[in-house]
A and B are shown apart, each in its own frame.
Chain A
Amino acid sequence: MVRSRCRLQILTEAEIASVHDTSLRVLEEIGVRVEGDRARSLLLDNGCQAGKDNLIRIRGSLVNKLLEVRVSEFTLYGRNQNQNITFGQNKVYAHNFGSVPTLTDIDSGERREATLEDLANLIRLKDALPNCHGVYPLVTPRDVEPRLTQVVTGAYLVRNTSKPLLVSTSDADETRYIVKILARVAGGERELQERPLGAVMLSPVSPLTFTAEVTEAILDTAAVGVPLLSLPCPICGLTAPMSLAGGLTSQNAESLAFFVLARLANPAVPLIYGARLGFADMKSGAAMDGRPDKGMTGACATQMAHFYGMPSDVYGMATAAHVSDIQSGYDKAISGLTAALAGADLVSGIGCVGHAILTNYEQVVIDNEIFDAVFKVLKGFEVNEDSLGLEVLKDVMLEGGNFLAQEHTRRYLRAGEIWKPEIGNLIGWEDWQKMDRESVVDRAKKRVKKILAEHQVVPLAAEVDRDIDAIMDECRRELVG
C-alpha cells in the first residue's frame, strides 16, 4: 500500500458530468431489469416506475438523494490490525483476481483443475506477499460439492489469511452462511458491522439486469452492514455500447442502480465502486483481457467513483498470455500502472493469466513484484534541504570524499530511497550463464516454494475454528441434504 502523490486524469470534469448525466437518463428513460419481489417492491414503493420486460425506471432524484450520504472513509479489517485497508486517505491497495477453476501446474506446466489444496496454498501465498493487501479466492476448487463451493471457500479464507477479505456469492443462501462465518470470526454480527472483515462483491448481468439471487444478496448484505462492492462486468460491443464512453456510461448506470438498492436497504452502508468494463475479440466473441484499454477505463471508472465520494476497485493486472511470459509482463505493467496512477483505491488482478480464466502460482509472486514497482512510482520522494544534496556534494567535491563513503548515502539507501527487486534480475551476463540463465519465472517459482514451506498464518482461536466446522456442517445439511 502506498499513499499516492500522482493523479492521472483521463476524463475531464465536463466528461465525468456527461457520463453521470447520461447514466441518470439511462435509469430514467430505459430503467434496469430487476428480478426479485423484495427489490421490485422496494423500488416501486420509492417512486420508481415499472416498465415492460421487468424493467424499472429509477428517478435521478432518488439516486442523488441516496448518494448524499458519502461514506468515503472506512476500513476493511484484517484479523491482523497491521493489515487493514483504509479508504479515504489517498492510498492505493492491491488484491488478487480469482475464482478460476483451472491453473497450470508449477512443476509440470500442464493445465489442470484446481483443488482445495491449491485454494489453501494460494490463499496462504497471498497472506505472505506484502503487496497483496486484500485476499479473494484465486481458484474455485473442483473437488468440492458445487453447491457448497462458495461457503467452503469462505471458511478457507478465514483460516489461511489474516488479511481483509473479498468474497463473492451468487445467492442469498451462500451470503447467509458466509456472513455467519465472518460474524463468528469477528465476534458477532454487531462486531462484524463495526469492524467488517472485508467486502462482499456482487455483479449484475450486463446489460442493466439484476437477477433475483443478486438482488436478494444485495439487500441481505446491506442490511447486515457489511461493505458492498458493486462489480459490473460489461463487455463493449457485446453487453454494452462499443464506444468507450458508452461502455463507461452503461457500467455507471448499473453501478448507480446497485447503490440505490443497497442504500434503500441500509441508508449508510459503505459502498465500493467496482468496475470491470472489458472487451472481446470481435472475431470470435470471446472475452479478451490484458489490453491497455482495460487499465485506461479502470482509471476513468476511478474518476467516476471519486466523483461519488466512493473508493474504486478496478483493473489492473490482466493479461491475454496463458503463461508467465513477456506479454503477461507488459500487459500487466501497462494496465496496472495506469489504474494506480489514477489513484484507484483497490487495483485487482494478482494471479491473472489467460484472459482471466486461468492462473498459476508463480504469476502471483511476479505480480507482487510488479505492484512493488508500481507503488514505487506512486510513492515519489522527499524534496527538502537535506535531500537536495548540497551538503553531501560539498563533502564529496570539496573534502575529497566519495559518495559511497557518505553517511548521507547510507541513510538514504537504508530508508529505501531506490527500488530493489526481490525476484528481478540483478546479476551480470557471466554470472547469469553460470546460473543456467535462470529467469524471473524460475526465481518466482523458487520463492513460491520457499513461502509455502515457511510461512505461518495468524491462527484462529480454537473455539472459533470448531464453530466454523459446525457452521459448515449446518450448511451442508441445509443446502445439500
Chain B
Amino acid sequence: MAPEFSEIRDAVVNGNKKQVVDLVQEAVQTTDPMSIIDGALAKGLEVVGSKFEEGEFFLPDMMLAAQAMEAAINILEPMLQKGSQTTLGKIVIGTVEGDIHEIGKNIVILILKSAGFEVFDLGVNVPSARFIEAVKERGAQILGISALMTTTIAKQKEIIDMLAAEGLRDKVKVMVGGAPITPEWAERIGADSYSPDAIVAVREAKRLQGFQ
C-alpha cells in the first residue's frame, strides 16, 4: 500500500473527517479515484468493522468514521466513470406516518451506506403511498420501514398490503424495525425480515441480497 493510502485509512479509522478530506484531495491529484476508494477508504472501514465486532469500537466511533468516509466519497464519486461503481443494492427507508422517531433509522442508514448499500432516506412521518412511490422511482431491492410507537406500527402492515395490491410484493424485500416491533409481528404482517438493532439490520440486508 502506498504510504498515502495507509494515512487515509488511519484517518478514516480515527473518524477525522477534515484530515480524510485533505488527504483525499491531495491523493486524487496523482491517483485514480477508484483505487483510493478500494485501497484506502474500504480498508479503513474494514478495520472499523472488526474493531466494532471485537467490542473495541462503539457506535460513536462507527458514526465518525462513516461520516469521514462519506465526505471522501462525496469528493470521489463525481470523478468516477459512470457505471463503474457497484453497490450491494438499493434500499429505500423511512419512518411511518404519524411517527417522527428517527435515531434508530439514521444509525441503520449510516451503517448500511458504510457497508456499501445505496440508501434513499425518506425521512419521518412518511405517508404510506410515498414508500411505494419511492420503491418504484428508485428501483429499490429493499424497503426498510421503521415505526417506534405502538400506535403507528399498523402502518407497516398497511405498506406491505399496498405493495401487494400494486403487484410489487415479490419485487422488493421488506425489512421492519423499531422498539415495539417483535418477530411475531413481522411474521404476522408478512415482512421478509425483522431487525432488533442496526447491526442485525445490516446483516439482514446482506442476507436478503444473497451476500454472506
A205 CB contact (under 8 Å) in B100, B150, B154, B184: B100
Contacts of A238 in B (CB 8 A): 103
When the two chains form their complex, are residues A283 and B150 in contact, meaning their CB atoms are under 8 A apart?
Answer: no
Which of B9-17, B41-49, B51-59, B204-212 is the interface stretch?
B51-59
**For chain A residues 277-293, which have a beta carbon within 8 Å of chain B?**
282-287
When the two chains form their complex, are residues B182 and A102 in contact, meaning their CB atoms are under 8 A apart?
Answer: yes
Given A205-B100, A357-B179, A357-B180 in contact, is the A285-B107 Cβ separation under 8 Å?
yes
When the two chains form their complex, are residues B179 and A287 in contact, meaning their CB atoms are under 8 A apart?
Answer: yes
Q: How far is the CB of B187 from chain A (nearest CB, A)?
A: 13
Q: How far is the CB of A62 from chain B (nearest CB, A)?
A: 26
Tell whether B196 is near chain A: CB-to-CB under 8 Å. yes
When the two chains form their complex, are residues B59 and A283 in contact, meaning their CB atoms are under 8 A apart?
Answer: yes
When the two chains form their complex, are residues A101 and B180 in contact, meaning their CB atoms are under 8 A apart?
Answer: yes
Q: How far is the CB of B100 from chain A (nearest CB, A)?
A: 6
When the two chains form their complex, are residues B149 and A211 in contact, meaning their CB atoms are under 8 A apart?
Answer: no
Tell whether B104 is near chain A: CB-to-CB under 8 Å. yes
Q: How far is the CB of A54 from chain B (nearest CB, A)?
A: 12
When the two chains form their complex, are residues B151 and A149 in contact, meaning their CB atoms are under 8 A apart?
Answer: yes
Tell whether B169 is near chain A: CB-to-CB under 8 Å. no
Residue of B nearest to A150 (CB): B151
Contacts of B179 in A (CB 8 A): 286-287, 357
Q: How far is the CB of B137 from chain A (nearest CB, A)?
A: 27
Q: How far is the CB of A337 from chain B (nearest CB, A)?
A: 28
Tell whether B167 is near chain A: CB-to-CB under 8 Å. no
- Chain B: interface secondary structure? loop
Tell whether A360 is near chain B: CB-to-CB under 8 Å. no
A286 CB contact (under 8 Å) in B58, B149, B180, B196: B196
Tier of interface size on chain B: 20 to 34
Cα distance A357–B154 when bound, in Å? Answer: 18
When the two chains form their complex, are residues A284 and B103 in contact, meaning their CB atoms are under 8 A apart?
Answer: no
Query: 1/0 per residue B134-169: CB within 8 Å of A?
Result: 000000000000000111001000000000000000
Q: How far is the CB of B65 from chain A (nearest CB, A)?
A: 14
When the two chains form their complex, are residues A286 and B150 in contact, meaning their CB atoms are under 8 A apart?
Answer: no
Question: Using a Cβ cutoff of 8 Å, how many contacts connect chains A and B?
Answer: 51
Tell whether B198 is near chain A: CB-to-CB under 8 Å. yes
Given A101-B180, A205-B101, A357-B179 in contact, is the A284-B197 Cβ separation under 8 Å?
yes
Residue of A nearest to B183 (CB): A111
**For chain B residues 19-74, which have a beta carbon within 8 Å of chain A?**
52, 55, 58-60
When the two chains form their complex, are residues B149 and A170 in contact, meaning their CB atoms are under 8 A apart?
Answer: yes
Cα distance A170–B107 when bound, in Å? Answer: 25
Tell whether A96 is near chain B: CB-to-CB under 8 Å. no
Chain A contact residue count (CB 8 A cutoff): 25
Contacts of B184 in A (CB 8 A): 111, 113
Cα distance A242–B60 when bound, in Å? Answer: 10
Residue of A nearest to B103 (CB): A238
Cα distance A402–B198 when bound, in Å? Answer: 67
Query: 1/0 per residue B73-111: CB within 8 Å of A?
Result: 000000000000000000000000000110110010000
Q: How far is the CB of A246 from chain B (nearest CB, A)?
A: 14
Contacts of B182 in A (CB 8 A): 102, 111
Tell whether B199 is near chain A: CB-to-CB under 8 Å. yes
When the two chains form their complex, are residues B52 and A283 in contact, meaning their CB atoms are under 8 A apart?
Answer: yes
Contacts of A99 in B (CB 8 A): 150
B198 CB contact (under 8 Å) in A111, A209, A285: A285
Q: How far is the CB of A285 from chain B (nearest CB, A)?
A: 5
Cα distance A282–B52 when bound, in Å? Answer: 11
Residue of B nearest to A206 (CB): B103
Contacts of B107 in A (CB 8 A): 285
When the two chains form their complex, are residues B150 and A239 in contact, meaning their CB atoms are under 8 A apart?
Answer: no
Tell whether A146 is near chain B: CB-to-CB under 8 Å. yes
Contacts of A357 in B (CB 8 A): 179-180
Cα distance A424–B180 when bound, in Å? Answer: 33
Cα distance A170–B103 when bound, in Å? Answer: 20
Residue of B nearest to A357 (CB): B179
Query: 1/0 per residue A125-158: CB within 8 Å of B?
Result: 0000000000000001000001101100000000
Q: How far is the CB of B124 from chain A (nearest CB, A)?
A: 10
Contacts of A147 in B (CB 8 A): 151
Tell whether A241 is near chain B: CB-to-CB under 8 Å. no
Given A283-B199, A285-B103 in contact, is the A237-B180 Cβ separation under 8 Å?
no
Contacts of B199 in A (CB 8 A): 283-284
When the two chains form their complex, are residues B150 and A149 in contact, meaning their CB atoms are under 8 A apart?
Answer: yes
Residue of B nearest to A239 (CB): B103
Q: How far is the CB of B148 from chain A (nearest CB, A)?
A: 10
Cα distance A286–B60 when bound, in Å? Answer: 13
Cα distance A393–B165 when bound, in Å? Answer: 86
**For chain A residues 297-344, which have a beta carbon within 8 Å of chain B?**
none
Q: How far is the CB of A443 from chain B (nearest CB, A)?
A: 30
Cα distance A237–B196 when bound, in Å? Answer: 19
Given A205-B101, A238-B103, A357-B180 in contact, is the A284-B151 Cβ separation under 8 Å?
no
23 contacts between A and B (CB under 8 A): A99-B150, A111-B182, A111-B184, A140-B150, A146-B150, A146-B154, A149-B151, A170-B151, A205-B100, A209-B100, A242-B60, A282-B58, A282-B60, A283-B52, A283-B55, A284-B59, A284-B196, A284-B198, A285-B107, A285-B197, A286-B197, A287-B179, A357-B179
Ranked 3 nearest A-B pairs via Cβ: A284-B197, A282-B58, A140-B150
Known: A149-B151, A283-B52. 20 other contacts (CB 8 A): A113-B184, A140-B150, A146-B151, A150-B151, A170-B151, A209-B100, A211-B100, A237-B59, A237-B60, A239-B103, A282-B59, A282-B60, A283-B55, A283-B58, A283-B59, A285-B59, A285-B197, A285-B198, A357-B179, A357-B180
